[in-house]
Amino acid sequence: MRLWGGRFEGGPADALTRLSVSVHFDWRLVPYDLLASRAHARVLHRAGLLTEDELGRMIGALDDLERACKAGEFRPTVADEDVHTALERGLLERLGTLGGKLRAGRSRNDQVATDLRLYLRDHVRHIVSRLVELETALMSQAEQHAETAAPGMTHLQHAQPVSFGHQLLAHVHAFARDIERLRDWDRRAAVSPLGSGALAGSSLPLDPQAVARELGFDSAAPNSMDAVADRDFAAEFLFDAAMIGMHLSRLGEEIVLWASQEFRWIEMDDAYSTGSSIMPQKKNPDVAELARGKSGRLIGNLMSLLTTLKGLPLTYNRDLQEDKEPVFDSVDTLLLVLPAVAGLVATMRVNTAKLESSAPDGFALATDLAELLVRRGVPFREAHEAVGHLVVWCQVNDKDFDELTDEELVKVSPHFTPDSREVLSVPGALAARKAHGGTAPDRVRDQLVALRETVDGQAAWASGN
Ligand code: ARG
């Protein structure tokens, strides 16, 4: 079954056929190809190229083909080069010669570009729904831990205490930006290539704008050559997916650390952790590790498509067939990883006692002490120096800040007074960071209110409201 036999004498070589075939991966475009075919049939009818009766039979056959594909009754054969070839065969089997009328004014070049846009716009909404579930899981943990002090880190070293909820919400902001990026992507992807034909448009009186509207696009492509050659929408989606992958890998890495014996910040639920085949005591963070690991293929898929596209002359080139596998793989990967990470986050138990007891470790309140001196008029440079000396003194004498006597305190620097100790409290340090964006529990609760509104809007967008 070939769509281009007319001018050829012999059949194609086996090696060519095997190289050429894409139906084993583009078969998933069936529903979208059929949607576009129905819209095209209606436009042919309005152009006077299909009678009312022919249109009715055509739509009936397309509906039946869809049913047969869903039921697994209609399957691609080894002789079908791609999804478009297979579906035309199905149409011919149902309609005889009438089936051959649908190809008028249409090429696989505008067809495949349309199908892939339809597929992606649909699946981006599924991905956003799964991201919303992850945001929701992070937010409900954050809500319970707005007041829980944790060691805030830079360079993976204790830096300053933070609210653990604040840290969890930092991840939510990253995923919320990813969703906004996808919504923005969707506006650019909402352009219909159908009507562009092979590259130049059609001499038949088609109505690309009407087809675009019927398929839920905002408009038809203004340039037929760009329409069949452009894969920006696929590359841009792959970038967004790679960014999500990168964010998942950063969250994954944190969870791996938190679950370790060294941190013990969280306990993973049994349902979201794995055991070892040899060490009976083990409980491994495989979900978090796979989230981290899968970012490699998400980034690779972007590189793969960009490399395929670079240097291609206008317009369609068969290289473009290589767009689909990376796109499908990134969609599948995200739909696989996101529910697992959301489940892991929703069910993890946070070890509040451990977080709170380690929050002041490593002299994490040193900045608060320096800022107290600043409020008393000491230049920060001098305050920094004085607190630095105090840290060294404590280390040499094996003491923590809160174990210092009044005499010891003033001995290190005359800037310190017994009441300097007031700022050496973790809850005080958190509450003091109460400016916009700070880690004070009140600000964390403000963030939650704002984020809930954002996430509600994102959920509504994904479900088409
Ligand atoms: N399977 C092809 C693809 O995915 C469809 C377009 C083929 N067009 C052509 N002129 N050979 O790109």
Q: Dihedral of CA 76/80/83/84: which sign?
A: negative
> Is 82 touching ligand 1 by the criterion CB < 6 Å?
yes
- DSSP letter (8 states) at residue 234: H
Average confidence score pLDDT of the chain = 95
pLDDT value of position 413? 85
**What is the CA(447)–ligand 1 centre distance, in A?**
48
Q: Which of 32, 88, 109, 115 to mutate to test the pocket of ligand 1 (most atoms within 8 A of CB)?
A: 109
The answer to whether residue 3 scores a pLDDT higher than 90 is no
pLDDT value of position 333? 98
What is the CB-side half-sphere exposure of residue 177 using CA atoms within 13 A? Answer: 9
> Is 112 touching ligand 1 by the criterion CB < 6 Å?
yes
> Is 320 touching ligand 1 by the criterion CB < 6 Å?
yes
The average pLDDT across 22-29 equals 97
The answer to whether residue 47 scores a pLDDT higher than 70 is yes
Q: For residue 279, name the pLDDT band (cuts at 50, 70, 90).
A: confident
> Is 22 touching ligand 1 by the criterion CB < 6 Å?
yes
Distances (CA, A) of 28 to 37, 231, 343, 358: 15, 18, 28, 51
The average pLDDT across 406-434 equals 89
Q: Is 51 exposed, middle or buried (0-12, 13-18, 19+ CB in 10 A)?
A: exposed
CA distance 23 to 16: 14
The question of whether 277 is a catalytic residue gets the answer: no
The answer to whether residue 380 scores a pLDDT higher than 80 is yes
Fold: same for 109-145+164-183+225-355 and 366-424: no
pLDDT value of position 1? 67
Q: For residue 402, name the pLDDT band (cuts at 50, 70, 90).
A: confident
pLDDT value of position 9? 77
Q: What is the CATH number of domain 16-104?
A: 1.10.275.10
pLDDT value of position 4? 66
The average pLDDT across 278-307 equals 95
109-145+164-183+225-355: CATH topology: Fumarase C; Chain A, domain 2 (1.20.200)
- The domain segmentation of the chain, as residue ranges, is 16-104, 109-145+164-183+225-355, 366-424
pLDDT value of position 410? 87
The answer to whether residue 117 scores a pLDDT higher than 70 is yes
pLDDT value of position 428? 93
Q: Shortest CA distance to 112 belongs to which of 329, 332, 314, 316?
A: 316
For atom 7 of ligand 1, the residue with the nearest CA is 108
pLDDT tens for 212-222 read 999 999 999 99
For atom 11 of ligand 1, the residue with the nearest CA is 318
From 20, 219, 260, 276, active-site residue: 276
Dihedral of the alpha carbons of 285, 286, 288, 294, in degrees to the nearest 10: 160
Bridge partners (DSSP) of residue 149 are 163
Single pTM value for the model: 0.95
The question of whether 276 is a catalytic residue gets the answer: yes
366-424: CATH topology: Ribonucleotide Reductase Protein R1; domain 1 (1.10.40)
Token pair in block for residue 248:
């998942």
